[in-house]
Each structure stands twice: as C-alpha cells, then as structure tokens.
Structure 1
Amino acid sequence: MGPKQLMEQDPGELDVSKLHPLSPEIISYQPTINIGLIGHVAHGKTTVVRAISGIRTTRFKCELERNITVRLGYANAKIYKCEDERCPRPLCYKVYGSDMVDDPPCDVPGFEKSKMKLLRHVSFVDCPGHEIFMTRMLSGATVMDGSLLLIAANESFPQPQTLEHWSAVDLLKIQNLILLQNKVDLVQEEVARNQYQAIQKYVKGTVASNAPILPISAQLNYNMDVVCEYIMKKISVPVRDFVSPPQMIVIRSFDVNKPGCEVLELKGGVVGGSITKGVLKVNQIIELRPGILGKDASGNLRCSPIYTRVASLHSEQNKLQIAVPGGLIGVGTTMDPALSRSDRLVGQVLGQVGTLPEVYTEIKIANTHLLSKLLGVTMNGTAQGKVGGLIKGEILLLNVSSMATGAEVLKVKDKHAKLRLKAPVCTSLGEKVVLSRRIQGHWRLIGWGVIKDGITLDILAATPDLT
C-alpha cells in the first residue's frame, strides 16, 4: 500500500509484462528516464538542476568549499502539464519534487480549477565539469538517456570541456540533446545573440545539428518552464525490458550509519544506480559482481561475488516495493556496510543470482575509433594536438559501463587491440569501451572500441543462504 498522496502500488497485482516506462503506477513513485547535465566547469549545471528540481546536488564538504561538483550528483523531479488545453504554453508546464501528488492544481492565473497531469518522472545526473573529473563524467554518461549541454553566455564558445563532454555523448550515442545557453542575464542582448548564432554555426552537421538552443538564466529561474517543455518534446523515453532477469549498474555506494551507531541499529550497505533491465523487488536475493577480489593458495586472482538481500528500495523519499528500469534507484541491502562505503562498489553490476555477465581480466577490442585531435587540451600552450595510435606497453584508462580501470596495451593490430585490465570488470561482449590517455598529468578522452573477446576470471560461486 503506497502513501495516500501517490497512486497505490500493489506488487502482488502488478503484471510486469504489461508495464511500460509511462505506466501511472510506476512514474508516480520513481523516475524512468535519466537526463545528464554536462558542460564546462562553472557553466551552471548544478544551478539548473536546483532550478528544476529544487535540490542542490553538491552535498560534500569538498564540493561546498570549492563550489564545484566533484562526485556525480543526482536529483529527481516530476514534470506536469495542465489538462486544460487553453492554458498557455510554456506556463502550462510545471515541475515538482518526487513526492508531489499525481494531480496538483494548476497555478496559472485563470486556470486554478484545472488539474495538472503527470507526464514524466525524471532523474537528473549532475556531472563534474572540471577536466580532472572526466572519468566520473563518463561513468555518469553510461546511464544517460538524454543530456542538457550547458554553455555560459558570458564566456567564449566553445570551452575545452564543452567539447570534451560533447564528444563523450557522441561516442556513447546519446542522441537526445538540448543545448542551454545559460547566464544570459549577465550579458547584453547583442552578445547573447552573437553567441547563439555561433553555436548554431558550430553544431551544423554534428550530432547536435537538430538540438534546440534555449537561452536561460538558471539563477533567476528564467525560461525553466521552457526547458521542461522541450524535455517533454525532444527527449523520448526509451523502450525498456521489464521481463528479463534484473540487472543494475552501480554508480554510487554508501554506508548510511552515523558514527557511534548502536549495533542493533546498524543498517546494511546501500548502492545507487540505474536498472538496465528487469524488475527488482524487496526481499529478493541478489548478487554483485565482481564482488570481493582476492588470491588463492597459488597466488592466482579470484573473485567472490557478494550475495545479499534487498532490504529496501527508494527513489529519493519514495519507498518502493518494486523498482523498474530507468531512473536512479537506491537499494538498501543486508551486506556489511564497510563494503559499500565511500563509493567502493562503483562499477559493480547487481542483479539476480546466476544471471550476471562474466568477469574479465583481459579484453580484446575491435572497431577502435580514435579522435582526430585532442579535446580540452592544448599543446605548448597554442594548438590542440593530434591523437596518436595505441602503443604496445602504454597504460590507458578504460571506462566500461560505470567501471573505470587502468589497462596495459598488450597488442595492437589495425583497429584491434588486446588489453590487460588492472582491475577485473563485469561486462558483456559487444559492450562499448571508452579510452583515455594520460596527457599533461590528466586523463584525456581519445576514442572508443567494442569488446570482441577476452579472458574471464574464475568465480567462487556459492549458494547464498540469506533467510
């Protein structure tokens, strides 16, 4: 039985084969689409999320002191539209938090007696914009269904990380893109118009050639209703698989216990991420891979999956009985919270016992595509350098799903490469791998490839007894 203000959700009566991402009993409780905020540092990504959702995603001390996003931030919001067709656009669109009722009254003058209809429940993924946090941005990009690219009107276009983030979403084939020309309140109209025209010219013939460009001021909440309207029109909810065994990408993990907590009050570890397929249920026995890494008596690397039970499911403050593919979900478990604290489980894959992909220590990638030039970096302080081919023996940084790990290049031939991973990765053949190279002290995006084959790690399987 759900809270009175939300639609009732009875897991015993829900037929998952008939559900879809816009089912009212689903979007009443949880988001079913992820939208990333990307762009150069200090262009207003966090401010846009706060203007739309009312939530400040910078929560850590280091972020508040430096006034930048360091870790992936997240916030959920519901988008509504007035049911009266006479209600003028874009005022007819409104956004509220995840715990808002499903049919609030319209607040447009003259239409107060009309009800609003819930159309979308969205998770916003606030990505770090600083160059040294590019790998975290790539981890967040793995769960994005669409993205909002922030461009500051009071700075020249394009900035280094604007290009780098733009290239990343292009590599990951994130087609649903909206460009937000932020901070228009800080420049004169002619300056904003000139930059608008420059953006139009630059994106012509690119992945963003059909993307709308919206002038906004997130600080003054200007045109945020227009952003909501274009999210509805330009970012479609993808088709989801509700019937396969559940599988979830972990992008955050926590220990929610406070210092000095009594033993009997301890709560299990919490993981956060996005379900890619299937449906998770409370009390379900689940597995995390690769799990705990160790060595056997002969010194060979082994991995022991973590078996645990789903103690609770949450979408922000909304308590769930089932969780479906789409938005960001928090999964409370019965595992030792020491395993999940400080994002230790980021990159793991969670799912039904015995159904998860293999764990690889070496991979062969095919169809390797390298960028024509470096993005977000200058050589000798003047021009961007070219991207050289992969070199045998060099160390790269790989982003496979939400896992970031180092890899040594063992062999290179044409567009194929063999890589030895520094940390085992749970993944599938055909998965895309993003490649970064260390340049001028930072990891820079250089290209991508597809996993063709690899060497798997022995898994110490066990029969979990968590009753």
Structure 2
Amino acid sequence: MAPLPHVTDTALMHFVIPTPSDVPLQPSLTIGLLGPSAQSKSALVQAITNKKRCKHCVPPTWRYTHVKIYRSVLYNSQKTKYCAQTGQFPDSYTDNEGRDWQFIRYVSFVDGPNLLAAALDAALVLASPQSELIESTQKINNWAIIDDCQNIKQRQRVRSGSGIALPPSVQSILEYICNLPIPRWDLTKPPQMRIIQSVDPNRPGQSCDGLKGGVAYGSITQGVFRVGDIVELRPGRFSRDRTTGRFKCTPLVTRIQALHTDETMLTNAAPGGLICVSTTLDPTLTRSNRLIGQFMGPRGTLPLIYTEIDISYQLLLCAKNNLFTVGEVLMANIGATTLGVKIIAAAENKATFQLSAPICGQIGDLMVLSRRRRGVWQPVGRGSIESGVVADVIEI
C-alpha cells in the first residue's frame, strides 16, 4: 500500500489560543477503537501510550485518552521512528539517548465508542471472528465518510488477505495515523455541537457557595465556540400535551463559562477531539446524561425539532426477508441519541416513524435501525431522514 502524503497539525492553529509552541491545544482527530470485549483494545492503548487503559469519564459510559505523536529520524540508517506521549510535552525534545523528536500529530483515542457515532473522525477496528464485531461496526453510522470505491477496495483487501496473520507493530500504527487526512471543517458557519454526555460536577454535600453549573461533553461539527457565548440546547426540556398528544419543547439557554480538552483550558474551541463545556445550567439538568443527544449552538441557528420523521432505509442481508410492518417497534440510533420508534407507515424502502421523544436533527442525518431478537437488540438496517413533523416549541 502506497504511503499517504504526510500532513502536520500546525495548520490548525489559527483557530485556537495563540501560543509559541507548534503543538495545537486540542486534538485534530478522534479515533475510535472498535471490536468485541476482551479483544485487546486496552492492551493496544497501553502499547501506544504506556498507560494501563483509557481514562474513565464520570459516569464511565466511555473512555478516552489524548496522545501526542512524535517523529525522529535515525541518523545512522535514515529510518523514521515514531513514539507517543501523554500529558504536557513541547513541540520538540531530546531523549536520554540524544535522539531529537519532533511533534507531528495530536489525536484522541476513544474506547467503546458505540455511543459516539457522531464524534468519530476515524476508527481502528480490531478484527475478530466473533459476531459482536459485525454488530459494533454496523452501529457506527458514519458510512457517508467512505465512498463506494474505497469501501469496495477495503472489502477486497480484507477478504483476499494472506493465510498467515502479520500483526502490525506500534510503529506502523503510529505512522499510518500520522498520514491520515485531517477533515476539512467549516469554521465560518455558526458553531454546532452534539452532546454525547452530561454530568453534574458537584459532589454530594457541596456548599451553596461552591456549586458549579452543569457540564456537557461533545464533538463540535462546525464553527468555533468561545468562552462567554450565549448558546441554546435543543430540544431541551419537553413534555406531552395530554389533550392533543403532541410534544411541547422548551429549549435551554445558557452561557459558556469554560472550555477545555483533557487538562488544557481553551478560550476558543473548534472541531477536533472531545470538548468539555462548563455552563451555567442547573446541575440537575445535566446529571446522569440527561442532555445526551442534544444540539448546542447559537440561538436561531440550530436544526428543527421533529416528533415524526419520514425516512428512506436499506435492510441488511440478514433482514432482507423480514420487511418493516406497521405497528412494529424498533430502536433507532441517530447520532448520539438512542430512542424507540413506532412504524406508522411502511413501504418497500420508505417508512414513517413516530418517535418516543423529540429529536433535533437535520435532513439527511443517518441512523441505525435495530430489531429485538431473542431479547437482544440487533442492527437490521440503516436509514436517513427525508422530512418530518415539527414539534411545538416554546421560546424562552
């Protein structure tokens, strides 16, 4: 396989805090580790970062670690060697052996990212003959980032592999990560972020003077957030009208108090990596992942809120003979949101879903559809939003 052109991260520094170092303040890529449990995902992270495992968030619904990758050229043989470091490291340093290392790439590894379908820029799949591998890869709904030609080539490369397994070394993995193309984000559009986790940062028994606002973790998809911005969260709080049966949504409005990634404080946050946003929201609104799946952005710029959606879908080979029927209940993964849907109309490749909770989404958003089999939800197809019924919104 021909090597990809080398790309550094120094070109990404125009949207972060000015700094004399060439190391950007936030990761440029979010890489997910896919595979069944007990498939050496933590061992791979340990081999790369010399850490036992990724850091746990609270609550531990996913694990992450931020890694800075350095490159050194051996003067004797002119061979290139790579290493990974965590924590605060400069743009270049010299090790105990007198070897010079230069910063190349800043990435974020996420372990168990089935919940982070909307937050991943790349994925590292640990192949296994187990059926869980197929399910975990099918739940990632970023099919749109790989074109059909590239997908066919990858399938042919996997199926026509050699009879002897040649495990890649850590050097090969780091080299390939350094050559991955950086996504081209649009920084001129109004900022948007999908919230993938929310927590209450206050400890039990915290005094009133020391109370902090709610904290949300997410992935920025476009634009730049700044400390002090007034933002809106959709769909916010919602309830069902008992007379009409329609949902009434009240978007939440808050102010960004702080931005940081890992242990680095930011004044501006752009797409790339996982961003922690400290807000002025009531902590009871953010505890226990109550804001998961919400959209964050300036008021008047976020997508519409839907209670019913019309989709076009494609079934997997295992479900070709079991088409959707009216009245059937499915589970849909839309971005970071997981909710139940009821089919109220169905055709060969079209369907209309009644949602168990309102969602904020855009036309064309992808979703994974799962059907309950033997007490377990299993993916049976994928779909995309074409239109929908807009919910009643109460503006504050």
Q: Secondary structure at the match of 1:357?
A: coil
Code of the aligned partner of 2:89: M
8 Å CA contact retained: 2:141, 2:366:
no
Structure 1 segment 63-462 matched on structure 2, within 5 A: 71-82=61-72, 89=79, 92-106=81-95, 109=97, 112=98, 114=100, 116-127=101-112, 137=114, 139-151=115-127, 157-169=128-140, 172-175=143-146, 204-205=155-156, 215=167, 223-233=169-179, 235-295=180-240, 298=243, 300-366=246-312, 368-373=313-318, 388-462=322-396
8 Å CA contact retained: 2:33, 2:109:
yes
Code of the aligned partner of 1:231: I
Distance 1:102 1:55 in 2: 25
Tell me how far 1:125 sits from its aligned partner.
Answer: 1.6
CA deviations 1:82-127 (Å, max 9, x no partner) are 267767545x2111114222222256x4xx252x222211111211
8 Å CA contact retained: 2:117, 2:141:
no
8 Å CA contact retained: 2:247, 2:307:
no
Distance 2:174 2:160 in 1: 20
Q: Secondary structure at the match of 1:228?
A: helix
Tell me how far 1:349 sits from its aligned partner.
Answer: 0.8
Tell me how far 1:433 sits from its aligned partner.
Answer: 1.7
Q: Secondary structure at the match of 1:236?
A: coil
Structure 1 segment 31-42 matched on structure 2, within 5 A: 31-42=27-38
Per the alignment, residue 48 of structure 1 pairs with: 44
Distance 2:52 2:25 in 1: 17
8 Å CA contact retained: 2:116, 2:335:
no
Q: Secondary structure at the match of 1:42?
A: coil
Distance 2:29 2:380 in 1: 28
Tell me how far 1:458 sits from its aligned partner.
Answer: 1.6
Per the alignment, residue 196 of structure 1 pairs with: none
Give the direction of change, closer, same or farther, for the CA distance of 1:26–1:408 in structure 2 (3 Å limit).
farther
Distance 1:24 1:447 in 2: 49
CA deviations 1:59-91 (Å, max 9, x no partner) are 4899xxxxxxx722222111111267767545x
Distance 1:284 1:85 in 2: 50
8 Å CA contact retained: 1:30, 1:315:
yes
8 Å CA contact retained: 2:73, 2:79:
no
Distance 2:196 2:160 in 1: 30
Per the alignment, residue 54 of structure 2 pairs with: 57
Q: Secondary structure at the match of 2:137?
A: helix
Code of the aligned partner of 2:120: M
Distance 2:144 2:159 in 1: 11
8 Å CA contact retained: 2:247, 2:358:
no
Q: Secondary structure at the match of 1:417?
A: strand
Give the direction of change, closer, same or farther, for the CA distance of 1:89–1:330 in structure 2 (3 Å limit).
farther
CA deviations 1:145-179 (Å, max 9, x no partner) are 1111113xxxxx41111122234448624549xxx
Code of the aligned partner of 2:133: T
Q: Secondary structure at the match of 2:93?
A: coil
Distance 1:410 1:314 in 2: 43
The answer for unaligned runs of 5 or more in structure 1 is 1-14, 63-69, 129-136, 152-156, 177-201, 217-222, 375-385, 463-467
Tell me how far 1:224 sits from its aligned partner.
Answer: 2.3
Distance 1:432 1:122 in 2: 25
Tell me how far 1:344 sits from its aligned partner.
Answer: 1.3
Q: Secondary structure at the match of 2:134?
A: helix
Distance 2:84 2:203 in 1: 33
Give the direction of change, closer, same or farther, for the CA distance of 1:255–1:387 in structure 2 (3 Å limit).
farther
Code of the aligned partner of 1:347: G
The answer for unaligned runs of 5 or more in structure 2 is 1-11, 148-152
8 Å CA contact retained: 1:392, 1:410:
yes
Distance 1:458 1:306 in 2: 15
Q: Which moved more, 1:46-55 or 1:271-280?
A: 46-55
TM-score (norm 2): 0.85
Tell me how far 1:208 sits from its aligned partner.
Answer: 8.6
Task: Tell me how many residue pairs correspond in the alignment.
Answer: 374
Tell me how far 1:231 sits from its aligned partner.
Answer: 1.1
